[in-house]
Amino acid sequence: MSEAVAVIPARGGSKGVARKNLQRVGGVPLVARAVAAARSSAAIGRVVVTTDDPDIAAVAAEWGAEIVERPAELAGDEATSEGALLHALDELERRRIDVGVVAFLQATSPFIDVAALTDAVHLVRSRRRDSVFSAVETYGFLWEKGIGGAAAAVNHDLEFRPRRQDRDPHYLETGAFYVMRAAGFRAARHRFFGSVGIAEVSARTAIEIDTLDELELARAIAPLVDRSERMEVDAVVTDFDGVHTDDTVRVDEHGVESVVVSRSDGMGVSLLRAAGIPVLILSTEVNPVVAARARKLRVDVVQASADKAAALRGWADAHGIALSRVAYLGNDVNDLPCLELVGWPVAVPDAHPLVLSAARTVLDRPGGAGAVRDLADRVLAGRDAASPLLTAPHPTSPQEAS
């Protein structure tokens, strides 16, 4: 039986936003968000990323996509999405994959509506439509600039201003997805052909990133759009000061330092260990209190590390854990390199603003007052149910790549 396959074009070059497809929104690279959305749809059996960039390919593969290597002539500024899709379909045919329906997803749309995408695939597979695209309903009055810059009405009579309830809506493409019969697309060589349908989506999911302003806007609204997602990870890594503590230290008259920690955090770590989830404390501090706390909690510890990101990579590699399956909890700017590596960057609520903006999740409890327990509870809850949108996959078998 033929498959419904999602194809995500993601080239390395970008003029408006450098390395756009690897930029993070809600703590997740844009290409990974698209892969995760496609994998979350029960109607899609295979997810393919076509790219000319090895870094994009590595991220996409880690999140569960198969890779098609896109030739340079299809990856320049003048290349079309249709050209990349047709090349990907030819490559899949060479791999003896029978594609019946192709879902073209754009990584530059960070908030893909999975339910609408699933309905669109069913609509095309049932032959009720040949092509379906995502769109938002609009009652906007559209204008264009004519000769000399004079304004001219496009979709309305400028002498008659009807009320909203007296107007028929128009629909604006969001660019998030286009679902097509594969055979019809290959014949038409264009995304619109035959009977075209509309998959209506919410306006809050409709942002498409082409500029830095749009990227900043997407990052700002991500906590609202993604708030229903569940955390599903295979390991937890935390900073120490400001996470296990309130970021203060007591010094006695002999210069001996001490900190205050939360017993609830200790219980949270114990529950994680009981669930088989490895925990690492990663700190730049040399204070022996860090090692003492790690011994008490019976978890791994790396301290006095000048390069926390390298230490995190080494620990994850040694445990065979994909970084996309790691939750990292931090509070200050020295945590940013680690937050940018993992699938679940997490921040305490009083973290530095740059850390808060990099986080996929911001906890309710502050450091030293149950933050680690808060994270542990979310991780354990995520084991009971998968995220409806952005759950990173378990490492899969090596994907075939050309």
Burial label for 174, CB within 10 Å (0-12, 13-18, 19+), is: buried
Residue 394: which pLDDT band, with cuts at 50, 70 and 90? very low
State if pTM tops 0.95: no
Judge whether 296 lies within some domain: yes
Q: Which residue has the tokens 């330092």?
A: 257
Beta strand 344-347 pairing with 279-282 = unpaired
Quick one: which of 144, 209, 222, 215 has its CA closest to 10? 209
Name the more confident of 364 and 286: 364
Kindly state whether residues 192 and 301 are assigned to the same domain.
no
Kindly state whether residues 252 and 130 are assigned to the same domain.
no
Structure tokens given for 330: 């931090």
Torsion of CA 377, 224, 323, 274, to 10 degrees: 10
Judge whether 162 lies within some domain: no
Per-residue pLDDT tens for 332-381? 999 999 999 998 999 999 999 999 988 988 999 999 999 999 999 999 98
Show the beta-strand stretches assigned E in 225-271.
235-238, 250-251, 257-258
**Amino acid 74: pLDDT:** 85
**Amino acid 113: pLDDT:** 94
Kindly state whether residues 213 and 307 are assigned to the same domain.
no
Residue 199: which pLDDT band, with cuts at 50, 70 and 90? very high
Kindly state whether residues 32 and 90 are assigned to the same domain.
yes
Task: Specify the number of domains making up the chain.
Answer: 2
Domain CATH code at residue 362 = 3.40.50.1000
CA-CA distance, 184 to 194, in Å (whole number)? Answer: 8
Cβ atoms of 35 and 8 within 8 Å: the answer is yes
**Amino acid 14: pLDDT:** 81
**Amino acid 162: pLDDT:** 82
Structure tokens given for 66: 């198969």
- Identify the domain boundary among 196, 225, 254: 225
Kindly state whether residues 180 and 282 are assigned to the same domain.
no
**Amino acid 385: pLDDT:** 55
DSSP-assigned beta bridge partners for residue 257: 251
Domain CATH code at residue 123 = 3.90.550.10
Kindly state whether residues 64 and 111 are assigned to the same domain.
yes
Per-residue pLDDT tens for 213-249? 999 999 988 888 887 678 889 999 999 999 999 988 7
